[in-house]
Amino acid sequence: MVEPVKLGIVGLGRGLMLTLPALVDNPWVTISGAYDLQVDVAKLFAFEHSARAFETYEDLLADPGIEAVYLATPHQLHAEQTIAAARAGKHVLVEKPMAISVEECVAMVEACAAANVTLVVGPSHGFDAPVQLAADIVASGRFGSVRMVTALNFTDFMYRPRRPEELDVSKGGGVVYSQAAHQIDVVRRIIGKPVVSVHGITGNWDASRRSDGAYTALLTFSDGVAASLTYSGYAHYDSDELVGWISELGHKKDPARYGDTRSKLAAQAQDEASAKQQRGYASRNHDIGEMPSHHEHFGFILVSCDKADLKVLPGGVHIYGDKANFFAPLIPPVRPRVEVIDEFVSAARGHRPPHHDGEWGLETLACCSAILLSNQRGAPVNPRTLIDQIKG
């Protein structure tokens, strides 16, 4: 039997809330400690989860009862906190994006390798069960080689409550680092080949939310496979319409609630920081809520192979073959994001190398950086060159 990993949670905001259901009562994880800048929130969390609250991150890392950390902190803190955890001998599960520069990601990978600790980057939608099913179908060769992937997602990302740095590209804000990391992970997981070229264009269209709120990109993989990515966070069209009105988190969605996010933000305009806090454990209503009826997803995804197109859906994969089409269903999730925790625990216990390891996260972040750099240059960028320039 696998001994549970004794986990310290760092950051009790929105990221934690989305992953908490996968941690609660998980036989492979013991929540042993918590740290947050809001000390009272950390104490409440620790009390409710029979854990210990720490007043500093350094104190948490010094505790021999903590084997691993889950870093659900702002993007710009990931590198420093991961490197400190590695030096303290702790395994690391760090939220995407892995960091906010290729340089930071390389330093994180090197620190964890030197300390011989596990580094897993996620959760991202590359872990989603329907994505993994699509990747397995492609890898099987049943429908020939994959030739092209079309991925698009239109959301309300830009009008959800944000901290200032979440709209500051220099600090990892905007949709490229936050959302392209998901979309890139998805297409990389399905195609299973290296990205050799990224041609990206970003959009910054709202002076009141001055940040990159949209992008479109063409990723070319080895062997000539291509993936087109489009994302808009400007809260107009909602692409969940294309997947049966199932939300990103797997819940049924009411299309009649169009415009809710914009109107709520307008009502909270004078206190956006407090509204952001209420999405985390600081909220008085911080239970894990109703379990989703479907798997999580990241918009419309169509995988074109020689002999079939595969539509990735929240409940499975619809296969459109030469002569017939049929649906390959998945069992609904018992709890969301268990795939992330299973991969992390298995790696930390030395049973199986993680798929979404530090090198994986580094390559995804390099693709994100390539989108931004390509937009500046007006020309394609090979993300591998961004990595090699740092590694030498």
User: Is pLDDT above 60 for 284?
Assistant: no
163 and 57 in a common domain: no
Task: Supply the pTM of this predicted model.
Answer: 0.96
Q: Per residue in 340-366, pLDDT tens?
A: 999 999 999 999 999 999 999 999 999
Q: Which domain holds residue 272?
A: 127-329
- The verdict on residue 201 lying in a domain is yes
264 and 203 in a common domain: yes
165 and 89 in a common domain: no
CATH of residue 30's domain is 3.40.50.720
- The verdict on residue 140 lying in a domain is yes
Our count of domains for the chain comes to 2
237 and 106 in a common domain: no
171 and 64 in a common domain: no
Give me the pLDDT at residue 286, please: 57
60 and 200 in a common domain: no
- The verdict on residue 384 lying in a domain is no
148 and 116 in a common domain: no
151 and 258 in a common domain: yes
User: Is pLDDT above 60 for 386?
Assistant: yes
CB 90 within 8 A of CB 66: yes
Output the CA angle 389-194-243, nearest 5 degrees.
125
232 and 152 in a common domain: yes
Spatial separation of the C-alpha atoms in residues 42 and 72, rounded to whole Å: 13
Give me the pLDDT at residue 325, please: 97
Give me the pLDDT at residue 365, please: 98
User: Is pLDDT above 60 for 11?
Assistant: yes
Give me the pLDDT at residue 312, please: 98
Q: What is the mean pLDDT of the segment spanning 117-126?
A: 97
Give me the pLDDT at residue 2, please: 73
- The verdict on residue 379 lying in a domain is no
96 and 243 in a common domain: no
- The verdict on residue 25 lying in a domain is yes
- The verdict on residue 365 lying in a domain is no
User: Is pLDDT above 70 for 16?
Assistant: yes
User: Is pLDDT above 90 for 180?
Assistant: yes
Give me the pLDDT at residue 249, please: 96
Give me the pLDDT at residue 287, please: 59
CATH of residue 175's domain is 3.30.360.10
Q: What is the mean pLDDT of the segment spanning 121-130?
A: 97
